[in-house]
């Protein structure tokens, strides 16, 4: 095993992380990761992020059950972006879709809801 790559967390201490579904290869979501979130992701094998709005470490799916089990964590060439390749439990998006990119820039919806967000997020 080689040494862990030093991630460039930048001025605000966060890097963007893209979550991609290991099976469908769909891009599920983008969120931000702190050093603590990256450590927790590697240690637990489940995706953790840092919520900028709630200002706290966030285990994806902790309340909804829609966990992201990590298959691989990748780092980009500049070491300032992460790619989480995951097995997504349920849908990734809080709107009930499988992923957050369900609209084209023209406002056309290209994905259906797969769960009822009101039943999952209280």
Binding site: which residues?
76-78, 80, 93, 100
List C-alpha distances in Å: 102 to 31, 49, 53, 94: 16, 21, 22, 12
Could you give the CA distance from residue 27 to residue 34 in angstroms, rounded to a whole number?
A: 20
Q: Is residue 42 part of the contact set for a copy of itself (CB under 8 A)?
A: yes
Q: For a copy of itself, how many residues bind (rule: CB under 8 A)?
A: 41
Within its chain, how far is the Cα of 92 from the centroid?
8
Residues within window 57-116 making contact with a copy of itself, judged by CB under 8 A: 72-78, 81-83, 93-95, 97, 100-108, 110
User: Which residue positions form the known binding site for Zn(2+)?
Assistant: 77, 93, 100
Closer residue to a copy of itself, CB minimum distance, 69 or 95: 95
């Amino acid at each position: 095993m080689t040494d862990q790559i030093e991630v460039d967390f930048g001025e605000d201490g966060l890097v963007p992380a893209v979550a991609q579904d290991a099976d469908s290869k769909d891009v599920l979501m983008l969120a931000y990761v702190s050093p603590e979130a990256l450590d927790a992701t590697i240690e637990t094998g489940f995706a953790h992020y840092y919520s900028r709005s709630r200002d706290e470490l966030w285990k994806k799916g902790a309340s909804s059950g829609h966990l992201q089990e990590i298959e691989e964590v990748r780092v980009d060439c500049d070491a300032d972006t992460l790619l989480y390749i995951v097995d997504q439990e349920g849908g990734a998006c809080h709107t009930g879709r499988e992923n957050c990119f369900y609209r084209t820039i023209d406002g056309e919806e290209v994905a259906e809801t797969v769960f009822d967000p009101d039943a999952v997020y209280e």
